[in-house]
Structure 1
Amino acid sequence: MNTNLGLFPEEELVTQKIAVIGAGIVGVNCALALQLLGYKVTLIDREAVGAGCSKGNAGHFATEQVFPLAEPSLLTQLPKMLLDPLGPVALSPKHFIKAIPWFIKFFNNMAPKKRAHNSTALKNLNKNAIDYYKPLLAAANAQHLLVSNGSLLVFEHTPYKEVLAIHQHYLQAGIAVDLLDQRQALALEPNLHSKIRYALYFTEVGHTGDPLAICQVLADYAKNLGMEYKQLAIEHITASITGVVINGVMANGSNETAYFDRCVVATGAYSKKLLKGLGYHLPIEAERGYSLSVQLSEDEPALLSRPVASAERKFIITPMDNILRLSGTVEYAGLAAKANNKRADMLLKNAEFVLKKLPEQALSNNESDRQRWMGCRPSLPDSLPVICQAPQHSNIYFALGHQHLGLTQGAITGKLISQLVSGQKTDIDISPYNIERFN
């Protein structure tokens, strides 16, 4: 593992101009890693830095999530989930036909060999993912944004035999995890509800009190090193032997054309159109997730000291700066559908079964005490991101499709992209993340 910031000596500074399209946590990390190598980087996004999924997510550095989402047990659970409009998984009737090809690919990835391959690839990305953040946050004087306090996965009514099997499954995957009974779980988190019978304690994961702040702090650090930021909605990317031409629309509606030596595409769930224009097939689905942030009163004691996820209810509660954030659920409704705020509100109802005491503002009639949010996770059917040099374009690179793990895998992705661009050996084998697997 190479977490060295990697600044080149001044005489070796690279003069190439590189565009990084997408200013979420993955794009910001790519831009920063390239700027640290001395490239002239321009970060481009149609919105502000971190305005998408990097803003309202659970803030969980979920390195324990090494099992692909295509889990065979879903085959029996999914019909019931989909019939409940406020269940953990929802599929919009209007989006159903469009989503069928993606789901077919998703189900195909349940095959044992594919699942084992994908799990190994996830483990390789997650194993040291947090360590890649530490030198960056230290250099940006923002170490406080990473809290290494572990997390809990709690169980209400799952039989002990099944909990034990899940525990063993994680241990066999090399995950640091302890199995706790109710007494031990309450000793760690006294505010857990009495309905909680068991918990898995993941000791080596982390969380942040402000995921948007991490994105902004790292972007500011890159700006201090010389990175430029441009607010531009990219319409087309054209590659040639000599470079890359980017066409976009500015906030005032005027068109702009920019020229770069190389380009990194890190546009998350919005990547399909751009890659299609370059001749690549990307089976990506906008897996919409919701969060509800409840304001804490000034004199209110901390209700949790680490993230707590519910195994049965499929959501997570994260203590953040002056708020308690409830996040989770999955909705397949496409990129443009209006947010269904009932899916955010139901998280509060679920929290009543996990926590003994909720924030005082949780039941307030003042809507400003609760902030609803929806973001489109960029999910591929095998749960692996695309991290590679474009097979048919030597000056274009892809860093996208990180599903639920964009925050977790942001820093290591940036490092891998910087190693690809500069011709260095990558810290891990990146062949499983090549877009050729879909083309």
Structure 2
Amino acid sequence: MASATTPTTTTDRPAADIAVIGAGIVGAACALELARAGMKVLVLDRQAPGLGASYGNAGHMATEQVFPIADAGLLKRIPGMLLDPLGPLRLDWRYLPRAMPWFVKLLWNMRQAPYQASTAGLRALNEASLPAWQALLDSIGRRELLKDEGSLLIHERSVTTEALEAVARRMQAQGVPVERLSRQAVLSQVPALTEKVQGGLFFPATGHVSDPHQVVLALCEAAERQGVRFSTCKVASVRASEEGVRLETSEGALTVPRVLVAAGAHSAPLVEGACRKPVPLDTERGYHLMLPREVERLPVAITSLERRFIMTPMAEGLRLAGTVEFAGLQRPPNMQRAWQLERLAQGLFRRPLNTEDATSWMGFRPSLPDSLPVIDRIGPQGRVWLAFGHHHLGLTQAAITARLVRHFHDDTIDSALPSLVPYRLGRFA
């Protein structure tokens, strides 16, 4: 990528037709689509492209995950969330006072009507996500980054057979393609797994990427070829008026006709400054453990039903991921949670995993209480565009989100795309 530029100050002509705040997977995909639509685009981020949550995600194209995180089972897990620092779902008790309003909204969305609405919204995006990614990567000549060969959910105990069947029935009821596999079928597809595996579910309409960071960089390189410029600076505030949008950045003030807020977990204060309303955005802190000596252990991404984590084969090794921690943006990471993933993997394979040169990571997933992202236009003359809050589906939904955002510029409705109604910011009013 070319070196970053410095934003044009308010005394100069507008630096761009639109400033995109956020150079993660969603921001990069949107910047490319908007440039292709004929807009002059400037991307602003405090880090180099792809170094936030997009860098360390599980890499799974999780189109099968059409259910909100708030369900009846969550209530039973709350004591464990508070007491077990290494559990798959963790709530830091020190963060509880700040998190409580968000959790109240989360529980409120467990009611039947909002739960069903969230499920429908997730399903609409996810059904369009893999084709959108295939088209986007084809268009930049980087289809090899996407491995659209499905994924597996496995189980190890006979007592969880009914739980696995229940997952299959719920998925089928939502139109998610799923195939039941016997132990022999699973082991035939993944010989490295232990004989303890009882069987599993295969999701043919899913996949994974070989390197999430490289996907972001590939999009940014394609965007640069379309004239998109990138600037490394922090955006402190967004103020919209009839005349334009003023951004206060670490490199000075900047005024542009429009702005797209795609800053992930850091989006809330920017949006609140623009619309003067609170945004119920919180953070799921996600961890991964990368095993560089395990390049060819698995053919597809595999999730364990009992152990509640995912293993994804990548170009640079095997990535173990899947834990969720609610502790906000300020507390230091607890890397024991990353290494707990290696302990979870113990016993799943015929031979132990090689952890030599393993690296741990933590990043911030942007989460809204109904599990749906915000994709919208707000402010005077609709100058402030929004694309954030994709929680653990940012990679999955980035390409289809970019296509939806592009239609803000075209100002058209494409019946082939999901309706934007479920993703409006006003649903939190």
Counterparts of 1:20 and 1:353, CA distance in 2: 45
What whole-Å deviation, never above 9, does each CA across 1:356-389 have from its counterpart, x for those lacking one? 33443x1x3xxxx111100110010100000001
**1:391 shift after superposition:** 5.3
1:293 matched to 2:283? The reply is: no
The residue that corresponds to 2:4 in the other structure is none
3-state SS of paired residue (2:286):
strand
The residue that corresponds to 2:358 in the other structure is 370
**1:50 shift after superposition:** 0.5
Superposition pairs of residues 395-406 of structure 1, within 5 angstroms: 395-406=383-394
What whole-Å deviation, never above 9, does each CA across 1:81-121 have from its counterpart, x for those lacking one? 43211110111121111000011100111111111111001
Q: Retained in 2: the 8 A contact 1:268–1:377?
A: yes
**1:276 shift after superposition:** 1.8
Which stretch shows the higher mean deviation, 37-46 or 138-147? 138-147
Counterparts of 2:75 and 2:118, CA distance in 1: 19
**1:48 shift after superposition:** 0.5
Counterparts of 2:94 and 2:77, CA distance in 1: 22
What whole-Å deviation, never above 9, does each CA across 1:369-416 have from its counterpart, x for those lacking one? 111100110010100000001155511111000000000000110110
Counterparts of 1:20 and 1:268, CA distance in 2: 12
Counterparts of 1:359 and 1:163, CA distance in 2: 26
Counterparts of 1:72 and 1:119, CA distance in 2: 14
Q: Retained in 2: the 8 A contact 1:293–1:324?
A: yes
Q: In structure 2, what residue type is equivalent to 1:175? A: V
Q: In structure 2, what residue type is equivalent to 1:423? A: D
Q: Retained in 2: the 8 A contact 1:310–1:354?
A: no
Which stretch shows the higher mean deviation, 219-228 or 74-83? 74-83
Q: Retained in 2: the 8 A contact 1:239–1:393?
A: no
Counterparts of 2:163 and 2:56, CA distance in 1: 32
Give the counterpart of 1:387 among 375, 384, 387: 375
The residue that corresponds to 2:273 in the other structure is 277
Superposition pairs of residues 3-402 of structure 1, within 5 angstroms: 17-157=17-157, 158-250=159-251, 256-278=252-274, 279-296=276-293, 302-360=296-354, 362=355, 364=356, 369-390=357-378, 394-402=382-390
Counterparts of 1:41 and 1:235, CA distance in 2: 19
The residue that corresponds to 2:422 in the other structure is 432
Which stretch shows the higher mean deviation, 390-399 or 274-283? 390-399
Superposition RMSD in Å? 1.5
**1:22 shift after superposition:** 0.5
**1:419 shift after superposition:** 0.2
Counterparts of 1:311 and 1:165, CA distance in 2: 12
Which stretch shows the higher mean deviation, 182-191 or 70-79? 70-79
Q: Retained in 2: the 8 A contact 1:268–1:378?
A: yes
Q: Using a 3 Å threshold, how does the CA distance of structure 1 residues 16 and 423 change in structure 2: closer, same or farther?
A: farther
Q: Retained in 2: the 8 A contact 1:391–1:436?
A: no
3-state SS of paired residue (2:382):
coil
Q: TM-score, normalised by structure 1?
A: 0.91
Q: In structure 2, what residue type is equivalent to 1:273? A: P
Q: Retained in 2: the 8 A contact 1:303–1:357?
A: no
**1:263 shift after superposition:** 0.6
Counterparts of 1:191 and 1:82, CA distance in 2: 35
Where does structure 1 differ by over 3 angstroms across 4 or more consecutive aligned residues? none
Identity rate of aligned residues, in percent?
Answer: 38
Q: In structure 1, what residue type is equivalent to 2:250? A: V
Q: Retained in 2: the 8 A contact 1:53–1:375?
A: yes
Counterparts of 1:355 and 1:316, CA distance in 2: 14
**1:422 shift after superposition:** 2.2
Unaligned runs of 5+ residues in structure 1 are 1-14, 251-255
Counterparts of 2:76 and 2:326, CA distance in 1: 18
How many pairs were matched up? 411
**1:248 shift after superposition:** 0.6
Q: In structure 1, what residue type is equivalent to 2:419? A: D
Q: Retained in 1: the 8 A contact 2:18–2:260?
A: yes
Counterparts of 1:195 and 1:75, CA distance in 2: 30
Counterparts of 1:411 and 1:51, CA distance in 2: 18
Counterparts of 2:381 and 2:393, CA distance in 1: 27
Q: TM-score, normalised by structure 2?
A: 0.93
3-state SS of paired residue (1:77):
helix
Q: Retained in 2: the 8 A contact 1:402–1:409?
A: yes
What whole-Å deviation, never above 9, does each CA across 1:41-75 have from its counterpart, x for those lacking one? 00110100001010011101100000111111121
3-state SS of paired residue (2:332):
coil
The residue that corresponds to 1:9 in the other structure is none
Q: Retained in 1: the 8 A contact 2:37–2:409?
A: no
